Structure 1
Amino acid sequence: MKRHEFLKSIGFRGAALMAVLSSCTRKEDSILNVLTLSPAQNTPGATTPADSSSNGGTSGNPSSGGIDLSTIKNPILNIDLSSGSAANLKKVGGYITQNGIVVAQSSAGVYVAATQTCSHEPKKKVIFNVTEFYCTEHGARFTLEGKGKNSFGSGGLTIYKVATDGKKIVIYS
């Protein structure tokens, strides 16, 4: 049930309803214009991931040295960067959603991953938007570390660890 539907159900009408609805809104809850890519921008190859490892668990900074992806315990998702379904991950700002997880390239060769399920309401509407995770349902905004950036995102977002060798990405817990 949406907020205005709930308020109507308990008797708010007209100006009183508008007063309550407007008092519940904060500046940081305003709707964010989501980045929309044109088909020309959506082609792979704009930026190719560097041949390094990264960990999007808490910092999102590249790790030093390589990592043997086969040694990762608890893999949740494996992504082959050469597959057509991973084409958007070949450019900075590109993202894909797979198995309820949003995976994005936040900067050159650095990947981040989060649950697609928003903490504000349990709907799978979270996407990657330029430099943050964003829920298209109500405008909840989250940092790359999963911290809420507005009141709708105050519940935080589950962030997963990410490792890559430049050819494959492994999301794990």
Structure 2
Amino acid sequence: MNRYEFLKSMGLTGAALMAALTSCVHDDDSVVNALTISPVQSGTTTTPATSTTATTPTTSTTTATGNGTDLSAIKNRLLTVDLSSQAASELKKVGGYIAQSGIVVAQVSAGVYVAVTQTCSHEPKKQVIFNVSEFYCTAHGARFDLTGKGKNSFGSRGIAVYKVATDGLTLVVYS
């Protein structure tokens, strides 16, 4: 049941329904319809450095890329993805993402991956996706940058970002 259906079931109609539906929207919020945004075009995305470290309210992330990375030494694995598998086909293109085991992994630029929790901090719904150059919750429009920092009032609490390492064949998400 979404908010509209809930409010209607409570007997709200007309102007009262519209007032209730718009009461938690702020001027700085922008809602992005994730289903109608065009795919990332080459050369139009914000490209983070190949190796970054950023602190968020709950965790930190290190995005490691390149061949020669020793994945066997990684402890606290949360997710392991075989990049050659059909299930990971979306990760083969810049702007592509997968959501698996409560984690969203996206290729944000050529060979650079970022992983975040799929659970939104606005309300605990597993509806976070990657959308062009940011993470976006399809439930209420919470937006988050690549470091997990909120970009609007719905995303103000940020989301957890995980460490990612890849050797080009396998991708490991860990804490």
TM-score normalised by L of structure 1: 0.76
> Relative to structure 1, is the Cα distance of residues 151 and 37 closer, same or farther in structure 2, using a 3 angstrom cutoff?
closer
State the distance in 1 between where 2:6 and 2:86 align: 42
Q: Which amino acid aligns with 1:166?
A: G
Alignment partner of 2:116 out of 114, 138, 142: 114
- In structure 1, which of residues 88, 91, 99 is the aligned counterpart of residue 90 of structure 2? 88
Instruction: Tell me the percent identity.
Output: 61
Query: Which runs of 5 or more residues in structure 2 are unaligned?
Result: 43-49, 55-60
Of 69, 72, 93, which aligns to 2:71? 69
| d(CA) in 1 for partners of 2:104, 2:19 | 37
The answer for unaligned runs of 5 or more in structure 1 is: 47-53
**Secondary structure of residue in 2 paired with 1:34:** coil
1:21 to partner: Cα distance: 5.0
| Equivalent residue letter for 1:33 | N
Structure 1 residues 116, 34: CA separation in 2 closer, same or farther (over 3 Å shift)?
Answer: same
Residue 31 of structure 1, CA deviation: 1.7
Deviation at 1:134, TM superposition (A): 0.4
**Aligned in 2, Cα 1:19/1:82: closer, same or farther, shift over 3 Å?**
closer
Contact 1:79 1:168 in 2 (8 A): yes
Q: Aligned AA for 1:134?
A: Y
Larger radius of gyration: 1
* 1:71-109 CA-partner distances (Å, limit 9, x unpaired): 111111110101110000000000011101000100000
Task: Kindly report the root-mean-square deviation, in angstroms, between the aligned alpha carbons of the 2 structures.
Answer: 3.2
Going from structure 1 to structure 2, the CA distance change for 1:83 and 1:64 (only over 3 Å counts) comes to: closer
Larger proportion of strand? 2
